[in-house]
Amino acid sequence: MIYIITGHYGSGKTEIAINLAQKLKNPVIVDMDIVNPYFRTADAKDKLEALGVKVIAPEFANTNVDIPSLPPEIFSALQGEKDVILDVGGDEDGAIALGQFNKYFKNGYEMYFVMNFLRPMTKEPEDVYEILKEIEFASRLKVTKLINNTNVKEATTAEIVEKSMEKARKAEQLTNIPLMCVSGTQEVLKNIDGPKMELELNLTLPWEL
């Protein structure tokens, strides 16, 4: 199966991608974010590869130098038998990068749109709707499920997540796309009802090291 993880900047899509990779059996995870130098899949490469997850990333993905190119290894990964997770950039440019791989999606894919209602550009369900539609148009693909990943990293509380669920359900209605789950750490989610994705936090910004 091909899993495409997308969402606006700061939504936490890379953390979702990394956690999903840890739940699958020997998958391949591809860093396709050719714009944002922070929160890269490559930052967790050693940990993932120790778990049997193959990581494909641009040469400079784990530095502050970004070269807008994608490794040719992606083509062979998409033709293989393993599950593939594509961590896609959070804007139209990132979504357009998917276009060259379009033929590989004809046999089926899941495309998850990650929402964080505490980010400036996605504070409301209507904002999510607009960005989601832009990404669908640019990628020529349809989002199949929504993930509510509202968070402020380690400062996230159960109350913050619980409050966000009303907006997540409204986004579900606006987009007519099912809300797959709410994500967060085990502690934050323990009293939240409904389907959940428990996350282990893997990423930090350079100035937090």
User: Scanning the structure block, which residue is given the tokens 């953390």?
Assistant: 15
Question: Range with the lowest mean pLDDT among 6-10, 43-47, 99-103?
Answer: 43-47
Does residue 112 carry a pLDDT above 70? yes
Expressed as residue numbers, the domain containing 100 is 2-208
How would residue 116 be classed by pLDDT, with cut points 50, 70 and 90?
very high
Q: pLDDT digits over 135-180, tens only?
A: 998 888 999 999 999 998 878 899 999 999 999 999 999 999 999 9
Please tell me the predicted confidence (pLDDT) of residue 86. 92
Encoded tokens for 60: 């400079």
Cα–Cα distances (Å) from 135 to 125, 150, 177, 185, in that order, read: 15, 19, 14, 27
CA proximity to 45, closest of 202, 197, 185: 202
Domain count of the fold of the chain: 1
Average pLDDT of the chain?
Answer: 83
CA proximity to 203, closest of 23, 58, 50, 13: 13
Please tell me the predicted confidence (pLDDT) of residue 102. 83
Residue 193 is part of a domain; what is its CATH number?
A: 3.40.50.300
Q: pLDDT digits over 9-28, tens only?
A: 888 888 899 899 888 988 99
Encoded tokens for 164: 């966000």
Of residues 95 and 171, more confidently modeled: 171
C-alpha to C-alpha distance for 35 and 89, rounded to whole angstroms? 7
C-alpha to C-alpha distance for 54 and 52, rounded to whole angstroms? 6
Does residue 42 carry a pLDDT above 70? no
How confident is the model over 83-87, as a mean pLDDT? 92
End-to-end CA distance of the chain: 35
C-alpha to C-alpha distance for 4 and 6, rounded to whole angstroms? 6
Report yes or no: 65 and 37 within 8 Å, Cβ to Cβ: yes
Distance of CA 37 to the CA centre of its chain: 15
